[in-house]
């Protein structure tokens, strides 16, 4: 199929509000998050230590995966007598400050999870037996605790705080933003309300990144559904410091094949999406490690030149995504969404040298690829 794609949208990038003034996340943050790997009850300090070791040992740390984020279920069932949060004593016997020190010793940064309401997502969905461990009424205390522990990144997850606690999303997220801003320690602020209230329209002055969709599953159908949702969100992108977040990577998980994982990563790269691995880095296959660690694909993700990737064309069995790159070039994803091998092409006005970023070689001047089912080509177009 031949797609005639005109990048006229580059001439009409929207005006957006300023990014959160904390000076952080100038490029999309990258790292590892515990949730997709172990979910709730299997989370331990050893899991986190081993993930930090593997990021360093596999080269992923040096490729840019710097944040080690402990998701839900790190908390003890109740707060301490003074109201402060504490780690589960059986699964985190050395405490969070010690764990953060270990992560830092491996040349990495440390992240943690909290919620604006009274209960966490695992309390609601995973039978996590706890009470009062949400930050509602403890925002300042929790922020100060995170600062003392050496936290560098906070994932702040909505978890039904409207229906359970009557909270307003924007106001609740702003409250923790202000408490973090008062700390001497800089902390990247990631909020997650699953795109329900269109946070891309209001969250830029509030957080460094915001979820645009519900949880991403480790299936091709889920990846495609999430990709489709980004088509309407991308037009709201703006300057660095605030990023649309289509959720953590599922590379290496579930039923995703190597081709599907690479296609998933290709689109996330063109979206300037935060890149958080969600599997055991020490157990990645060679193909999946090469996908996560591809320096040329990562460079596309980290290159923001005025607009994140947009869907340029789509039809039965195919999609084309593209975005500008620094230096006047473009990154293009040719995506075969169908179940048979197909050729996907794009006619981009101009004269280009085309490089295949998965094959790591120049492939001529045409923007075209013959693709297996559920696979993608990630191409870099450089002006000739």
CATH number of the CATH domain containing 320: 2.60.40.1180
How many helices (H) does the chain have, and how many strands (E)?
Answer: 12, 17
Residue 14 is predicted with a pLDDT of: 54
10: in domain: no
Residue 238 is predicted with a pLDDT of: 61
Residue 6 is predicted with a pLDDT of: 42
Same-domain status, 251 and 267:
yes
Same-domain status, 133 and 88:
yes
Residue 268 is predicted with a pLDDT of: 98
Per cent of the chain over pLDDT 70 is 95
Backbone angles phi, psi at 54, to 5 degrees: -70, -40
CB 324 within 8 A of CB 9: no
Which of the residues in the chain have pLDDT under 50?
1-7, 9-12
What is the rounded CA–CA span in Å between residue 24 and residue 240? Answer: 9
16: in domain: no
Same-domain status, 118 and 38:
yes
CATH number of the CATH domain containing 167: 3.20.20.70
Same-domain status, 375 and 229:
no
Same-domain status, 192 and 339:
no
Residue 1 is predicted with a pLDDT of: 38
β-pairing, 330-336 vs 375-383, is antiparallel
- Cα-trace Rg, the chain: 21
Domain boundary among 302, 334, 353: 302
* CA nearest neighbour of 213 among 247, 162, 251, 172: 247
Same-domain status, 207 and 356:
no
- CA distances for 157 relative to 120, 244, 292, angstroms: 8, 15, 25
Residue 236 is predicted with a pLDDT of: 77
3: in domain: no
Residue 13 is predicted with a pLDDT of: 53
Same-domain status, 219 and 330:
no
For the stretch 277-295, pLDDT in tens is 999 999 999 999 999 999 9
150: in domain: yes
Same-domain status, 265 and 151:
yes
- CA distances for 256 relative to 104, 129, 250, 374, angstroms: 32, 32, 8, 10
25: in domain: no
Same-domain status, 172 and 215:
yes
12: in domain: no
Q: Could you give the residue numbers annotated as active site? A: 157, 215
Domain boundary among 302, 327, 355: 302
What is the rounded CA–CA span in Å between residue 103 and residue 259? Answer: 32
* CA nearest neighbour of 30 among 2, 72, 63: 63
pTM of the full structure:
0.95
Measured at the CA of 195, the angle between CA 116 and CA 129, to 5 degrees, comes to 40
Same-domain status, 285 and 245:
yes
Domain containing residue 317: 309-383
What is the rounded CA–CA span in Å between residue 156 and residue 191? Answer: 5
Residue 307 is predicted with a pLDDT of: 87
Domain boundary among 287, 302, 317: 302
Same-domain status, 162 and 34:
yes
Residue 4 is predicted with a pLDDT of: 40
Indicate the number of domains in the chain.
2
14: in domain: no
In this structure, the chain runs to a length of 384
Same-domain status, 322 and 285:
no
330: in domain: yes
For the stretch 57-72, pLDDT in tens is 999 999 999 999 999 9
Residue 265 is predicted with a pLDDT of: 98
CB 353 within 8 A of CB 372: no
């Amino acid at each position: 199929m031949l797609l005639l794609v005109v990048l006229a949208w580059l001439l009409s990038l929207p005006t957006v509000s300023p990014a959160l003034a904390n000076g952080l996340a100038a490029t999309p943050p990258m790292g590892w998050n515990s949730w997709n790997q172990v979910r709730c009850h299997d989370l331990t300090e050893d899991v986190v230590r081993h993930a930090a070791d593997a990021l360093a040992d596999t080269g992923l740390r040096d490729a840019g995966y710097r944040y080690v984020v402990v998701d839900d279920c790190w908390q003890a069932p109740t707060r301490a007598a003074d109201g402060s949060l504490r780690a589960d004593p059986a699964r985190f016997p050395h405490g969070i400050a010690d764990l953060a020190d270990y992560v830092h010793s491996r040349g990495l940064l440390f992240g943690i999870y909290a919620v604006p309401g009274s209960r966490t997502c695992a309390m609601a969905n995973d039978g996590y037996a706890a009470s009062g461990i949400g930050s509602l009424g403890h925002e300042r205390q929790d922020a100060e605790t995170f600062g003392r522990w050496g936290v560098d990144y906070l994932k702040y997850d909505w978890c039904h705080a409207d229906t359970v606690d009557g909270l307003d999303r924007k106001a609740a997220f702003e409250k923790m933003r202000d408490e973090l801003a008062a700390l001497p320690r800089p902390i990247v602020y990631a909020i997650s309300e699953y795109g329900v209230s269109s946070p891309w329209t209001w969250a830029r002055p509030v957080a460094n990144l915001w979820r645009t969709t519900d949880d991403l599953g480790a299936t091709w159908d889920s990846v495609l559904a999430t990709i489709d949702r980004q088509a309407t969100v991308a037009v709201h992108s703006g300057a660095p410091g605030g990023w649309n977040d289509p959720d953590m990577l599922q590379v290496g998980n579930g039923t995703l094949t190597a081709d599907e994982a690479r296609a998933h990563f290709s689109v996330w790269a063109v979206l300037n999406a935060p890149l958080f691995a969600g599997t055991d880095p020490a157990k990645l296959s060679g193909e999946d490690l090469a996908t996560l660690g591809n320096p040329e694909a990562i460079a596309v993700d980290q290159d923001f030149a005025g607009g994140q990737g947009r869907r340029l064309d789509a039809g039965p069995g195919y999609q084309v995504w593209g975005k500008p790159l620094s230096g006047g070039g473009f990154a293009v994803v040719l995506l075969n969404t169908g179940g048979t091998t197909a050729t996907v092409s794009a006619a981009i006005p101009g004269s280009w040298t085309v490089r295949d970023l998965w094959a790591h070689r120049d492939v001529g001047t045409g923007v075209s690829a013959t693709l297996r089912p559920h696979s993608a080509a990630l191409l870099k177009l450089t002006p000739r």
